[in-house]
A and B are shown apart, each in its own frame.
With several copies, the nearest count.
Chain A
Amino acid sequence: MKKIINKPENFVDEVMEGIILAYGDKVKFLNGDKRILLSNYPAKEGKVGIVTGGGSGHLPVFLGYVGQGMLDGCAIGNVFASPSSQKMADMIRACDRGSGVLCLYGNYGGDNMNFDMACEMVEFDGIETRTVRVKDDVASSPKETADKRRGVAGMVYAFKIAGAAAERMMTLDEVAAIAQKTVDNTRSMGVALSACIVPEVGKPTFSINEDEIEIGMGIHGEKGIEVRKMMTADEIAQTLLDRILEDMPLNSGDEVSVMVNGLGGTPLEELLIVYRKVHMMLAEKGISVYMPHIGEFATSMEMAGLSLTILKLDEQLKELLTSPANTPFYTNANKIPLK
Chain B
Amino acid sequence: MRACDVKEIFSYISEIMANNKDYLIELDQQNGDGDLGISMSAGFSEVASYLKNTDEKDLGKLFMSCSSKFNEAASSTLGTIISLGMMGMARTLKGKEEANISEVVDALEQGIQRIMDKAKSKPGEKTILDALYPAVEALKANSSRGVKEATKAAYEAAAAGSENTRNMKPVHGRAAYYGDKSIGLLDGGSVAGKFIFEGIYRYYSENYKDDSDK
Binding site for B on A (CB under 8 A): 77-87, 108-110, 113-114, 116-117, 139-141, 148, 150, 198, 200-201, 205-206, 216, 218, 220-223, 225
Contact = CB atoms under 8 A, between A and B. Distances in A.
A206 B29 contact: yes
Name, among A113, A114, A205, the residue most crowded by chain B CB atoms within 10 Å (CB to CB): A113
A201 B25 contact: yes
A78 B68 contact: no
Interface stretch (B71-79, B90-98, B100-108, B195-203): B71-79
Contact of B177 (A114, A117, A139): A139
Given A81-B76, A113-B81, A198-B35, A86 B68 contact: yes
A80 B172 contact: no
Given A82-B75, A109-B80, A110-B80, 11 more contacts: A78-B39, A79-B35, A80-B35, A81-B74, A110-B75, A113-B80, A148-B176, A198-B35, A198-B38, A205-B33, A225-B177
B118 interface: yes
Contacts of A82: 75-77, 79-80
B173 A84 contact: no
A222 B80 contact: no
A85 B74 CA distance: 11
A241 B37 CA distance: 36
B34 interface: yes
27 contacts: A80-B33, A80-B76, A81-B76, A82-B76, A82-B80, A83-B75, A108-B173, A109-B77, A110-B76, A110-B77, A113-B80, A114-B80, A139-B177, A140-B174, A140-B177, A148-B176, A150-B174, A198-B33, A198-B35, A201-B25, A205-B29, A218-B33, A218-B177, A220-B32, A220-B35, A222-B32, A222-B174
Contact of B75 (A85, A150, A216, A223): A85
Nearest to B76: A81
B84 interface: yes
Size bracket of the B interface:
20 to 34
Contacts of A141: 176-177
B77 A201 contact: no
Given A222-B174, A225-B178, A114 B35 contact: no
A92 to B, nearest CB: 15
B39 A81 contact: yes
B31 interface: yes
Interface in B124-159: none
A201 B84 contact: no
Contacts of B29: 201, 205-206
A139 B71 CA distance: 29
B38 A78 contact: yes
Nearest to A216: B177
Contact of A109 (B31, B68, B172, B177): B172
A56 to B, nearest CB: 11
A113 B174 CA distance: 15
Nearest to A83: B75
Given A109-B119, A109-B172, A225-B178, A205 B34 contact: yes
Contacts of A83: 75
A114 B84 CA distance: 10
Given A79-B35, A222-B174, A116 B118 contact: yes
A114 B25 contact: no
Contacts of B31: 222-223
A118 to B, nearest CB: 10
A84 B68 CA distance: 8
B64 to A, nearest CB: 12
B71 A201 contact: no
A116 B29 CA distance: 27
A200 B28 CA distance: 14
Nearest to A224: B177
Name, among B32, B75, B178, the residue most crowded by chain A CB atoms within 10 Å (CB to CB): B75
Contact of A84 (B32, B37, B38, B75): B75
A91 to B, nearest CB: 13
Given A86-B68, A201-B38, A218 B77 contact: no
Contacts of B172: 109
Contacts of B75: 77, 81-85, 110, 114
Given A84-B71, A84-B72, A139-B177, A198 B77 contact: no
A117 B119 CA distance: 12
A134 to B, nearest CB: 16
Given A82-B76, A220-B174, A201 B35 contact: yes
Contacts of B38: 78, 81, 198, 200-201
A170 to B, nearest CB: 31
Contacts of A223: 31, 178
Contacts of B33: 80, 198, 205, 218, 220-222
Name, among A148, A206, A220, A222, the residue most crowded by chain B CB atoms within 10 Å (CB to CB): A222
Contacts of B119: 109, 113
Contacts of A216: 177
